[in-house]
Structure 1
Amino acid sequence: MLDFTHNPWLVATSLAVALMAGFTGLSLTRGASALPDARRKIVVALAAVVLGGGIWSMHFVAMLGLQLPILFYYDALITLISALVAILMVGLALLLLHFRARSPQVIVAAGVIVGLGIVVMHYVGMAGMQLCKPVYGALDVVISTVASVALSILAIWVAYDARTQRNIVLGTVCFGIAVFSMHFVAILLTGFEVSDVANAAGPAMDNQVLAMGVTLAVFLICGAFLLTGITFVGAPETAEEAAAVPTPEPLTTVDPAPVVAPPTAGVPFEREGQTFFADPNHVAAIRAEGHYTVLYQDAEKLFCPWSITEAANRLEAAGFLRAHRSYLINPTHVSSFERNKDNGTLYFDGVDSLPKVPVSRSRMASLREALGL
């Protein structure tokens, strides 16, 4: 087996690339579930390119830092395939997260897909090495896969459990560590030996050509990172977080007059560039999504420009209740209630887009009283 070392500067750069890509991709998708389907698909596609491209870039920045005592090159076609695999698998995970109800099972499934995407990208990329053969066993692949999947589940869980600035930053750290750790765990379990047989499927690409491609990819990731970061820093938190912040007591001893939200023609929602108004009586529930909300009406999910706080203020007179920091519900559409220790679950018949809504412990007493339980 050949002895090898790493350039420490490129190792550090590879971690920075993974962190910048993770932050950019996770920031881009914040609030995406509330967008109309066409715009949501574009956002998911862009985030998949950034996250998948970040996985690929991190890998090859680290591989550029790999120092072997022989010259070797890469198969350009296999190297391209490794990038596309990462983008497609991350894209599949994001589609689950933004086009399905975000249950714990969906979050775990998305994390598993991302973790497998990192592993597949790594080993496909390694298969592109020519004149130098990576050597590893099945157990080595299993260990690398377990590490990647576990860390990726943690990253997705942290980033998507609540779409706050804090969760996105913590999810970024977990994502960067997942990609970085998987690569170097796999490298430590891999040996390298000279191979006289070239099994190139495409044109040859030496380290100089690869370096130019990786530099371009890293430049684009850095640019996207700066563009998302400049709007992320100092931006307000999600609407449900703002609602959770206690309001200071007034300095005067005279009770202020209650603030009454102005009347509205209905609940606004947007479709194909136009704004329409839904009858509140036909809306079963409203869910917070970033700075906006999603209306659930029959089989439809509709994008509403109101925040969850504004919706709660405006629809209080219509009988809407806060079941959870992220949900308002219309009691007339509730078909059943299930008690689960300190919290609960509301079920809706005839609302295909919303089978159930969680009830938080802090809202349990008032909600049961309102429902006559």
Structure 2
Amino acid sequence: MLDYSHNALLVAASLAIAMMAGFSGLSLTRGASALAGTQRKLIVVISAVILGGGIWSMHFVAMLGLQLPILFYYDGLMTLISALTAILMVGFALLILHFRTRTPLTLTLAGAVVGFGIVAMHYIGMLGMELCKPVFAPSGIIIALASAMGLSVLAIWVAYGARTKGNILLGTVCFGLSVFAVHFVAMSGTSFIALDTTGGGGPALSNEVLAMGVTVTAFVICGVFLLNGVSFLEPTAQNAVPSPAVQPEPAPEPAPEPVAAPDITPVPFEKEGRTQFLERTAIAAIRAEGHYTVLYAGDEKLFCPWSISEAETRLGTSHFIRAHRSYLINPAYVTEFRRAKDSGVCFFDGVGSLPKVPVARSRLNEVRDLLGV
């Protein structure tokens, strides 16, 4: 068995790269679930490359700091496979997070996928070593896998439990530490023996060539980190305060405009041969029925002489929003929203006559904004 040690400076650099990659990937996906399908897929691809590339870069920066008493290099094919494995596994986890409803199960599954990707990338990369064979202790593999799973699930739960800046920053720390810790936990259970022959299937990569590739990857990650950091730290509109040096002279306050009285016109419906009226606040939704509409209130379905367009015009947007060409909904009665590919569904508890209403693709962002999701 060969004795080995690590260069402390490169160990610190590997941790910094893991942190920058984690922040870049997690902050880049903030708000991605509200985008259309094609844009969301593009964000997922970019984030997967950043996060997966960060995992790979952290590993090989740390490996460049590995000091052995013999010369060794890497098989190019295995090194490439290790990078693609990390990117693919992280991409799969991001697809779960941004194309499925986030539940405790999906968050845990996504974290487990990321953790497995970290471990798989590490051991595939280690198997690419030439002239020096790594020997893995079974206990080391088990501990590394358990550490990766636990820390990655924690990182995903923190970063995606609430998409606030604080959660993303804390999730970044958890992600960076998971990649860093798993590497050195796995290394503590690894021994090395010298070989006289090589068995690689790809071109040989010396430490010098690998260092150039890792440096380029780290440079890209640093650039994305800086770009995301600038936008991430920008104050929100309500918190932005202009510099005293450029503050304009205060303009005279305009005369207050008269406040219009709220429209409380009741909604007509026909029942038992009579025209009756219903307060709009009691209506959960309105559905088009030919040239007329149906009102959903509690367990009742009531016939209304208004068309869907007339109802939308008369009621305005103070209480109702068009979720579909055939539906107006009252957001006050919506108890659950689910994303369904490029559309959505609103659910209504306590409205026995109407369990759910579809949300059209063209109306999706408007409905999500109104519901605050």
Scaled by the length of structure 2, what TM-score is found? 0.68
Match of 2:71, SS? coil
**Number of the residue aligned with 2:223:** 223
**Number of the residue aligned with 1:317:** 319
Q: Which amino acid aligns with 2:161?
A: D
**Number of the residue aligned with 2:85:** 85
| Distance in 1 (alpha carbons) for counterparts of 2:43 and 2:89 | 16
CA deviations over 1:231-260 (Å, ceiling 9, x no partner): 00134399xxxxxxxxxxxxxxxxx99988
Match of 1:49, SS? helix
Match of 1:321, SS? helix
**Number of the residue aligned with 1:177:** 177
Instruction: Tell me how far 1:281 sits from its aligned partner.
Output: 4.9
Query: Is the contact made by 2:334 and 2:349 (CA closer than 8 Å) also made in structure 1?
Result: no
Query: Is the contact made by 1:24 and 1:225 (CA closer than 8 Å) also made in structure 2?
Result: yes
Instruction: Flag the 1:315–1:214 CA change in 2: closer, same or farther, 3 A.
Output: same
Q: Which amino acid aligns with 1:142?
A: I
Match of 1:192, SS? strand
Instruction: Tell me how far 1:150 sits from its aligned partner.
Output: 0.2
Instruction: Tell me how far 1:106 sits from its aligned partner.
Output: 0.5
| Distance in 2 (alpha carbons) for counterparts of 1:324 and 1:85 | 40
**Number of the residue aligned with 1:60:** 60
Match of 1:135, SS? strand
Match of 2:101, SS? coil
**Number of the residue aligned with 2:142:** 142
Which structure's CA Rg is the greater one? 2
* 2:5 maps to 1:10: no
Shift >6 Å, 4+ stretches = 256-260, 322-327
Match of 2:134, SS? strand
Match of 2:117, SS? helix
Instruction: Tell me how far 1:142 sits from its aligned partner.
Output: 1.1
Instruction: Flag the 1:173–1:325 CA change in 2: closer, same or farther, 3 A.
Output: farther
| Distance in 2 (alpha carbons) for counterparts of 1:161 and 1:282 | 34
**Number of the residue aligned with 1:94:** 94
Instruction: Tell me how far 1:177 sits from its aligned partner.
Output: 0.2
| Distance in 2 (alpha carbons) for counterparts of 1:193 and 1:259 | 83
For 1:238-257, list aligned pairs within 5 A: none
| Distance in 2 (alpha carbons) for counterparts of 1:74 and 1:282 | 66
Match of 1:202, SS? coil
Q: Which amino acid aligns with 2:141?
A: V
For 1:132-281, list aligned pairs within 5 A: 132-236=132-236, 281=285
Instruction: Flag the 1:317–1:145 CA change in 2: closer, same or farther, 3 A.
Output: same
| Distance in 2 (alpha carbons) for counterparts of 1:135 and 1:350 | 59
Q: Which runs of 5+ in 2 are unaligned?
A: 239-255, 264-283, 288-315, 321-329, 339-345, 361-373
Q: Which runs of 5+ in 1 are unaligned?
A: 239-255, 264-279, 284-313, 328-332, 339-346, 354-373
Query: Is the contact made by 1:165 and 1:237 (CA closer than 8 Å) also made in structure 2?
Result: no
Instruction: Tell me how far 1:335 sits from its aligned partner.
Output: 4.8
**Number of the residue aligned with 1:289:** none
Instruction: Tell me how far 1:336 sits from its aligned partner.
Output: 3.6
Q: Which amino acid aligns with 2:12?
A: A
CA deviations over 1:29-88 (Å, ceiling 9, x no partner): 000011010111000000000000000000000000000011000001100010000000
Instruction: Flag the 1:8–1:97 CA change in 2: closer, same or farther, 3 A.
Output: same
The share of aligned pairs that are identical, in percent, is: 55
Instruction: Tell me how far 1:326 sits from its aligned partner.
Output: 9.4
Q: Which amino acid aligns with 2:332?
A: L
For 1:13-24, list aligned pairs within 5 A: 13-24=13-24
Instruction: Flag the 1:224–1:282 CA change in 2: closer, same or farther, 3 A.
Output: farther
For 1:294-373, list aligned pairs within 5 A: 315-318=317-320, 319-321=330-332, 334-336=347-349, 348-349=355-356, 351=358
| Distance in 2 (alpha carbons) for counterparts of 1:53 and 1:131 | 26
CA deviations over 1:96-143 (Å, ceiling 9, x no partner): 000000111100000000000000000000000001111113222111
| Distance in 1 (alpha carbons) for counterparts of 2:259 and 2:124 | 61
Q: Which amino acid aligns with 1:62?
A: A
| Distance in 2 (alpha carbons) for counterparts of 1:167 and 1:146 | 23
Match of 1:234, SS? coil
**Number of the residue aligned with 2:42:** 42
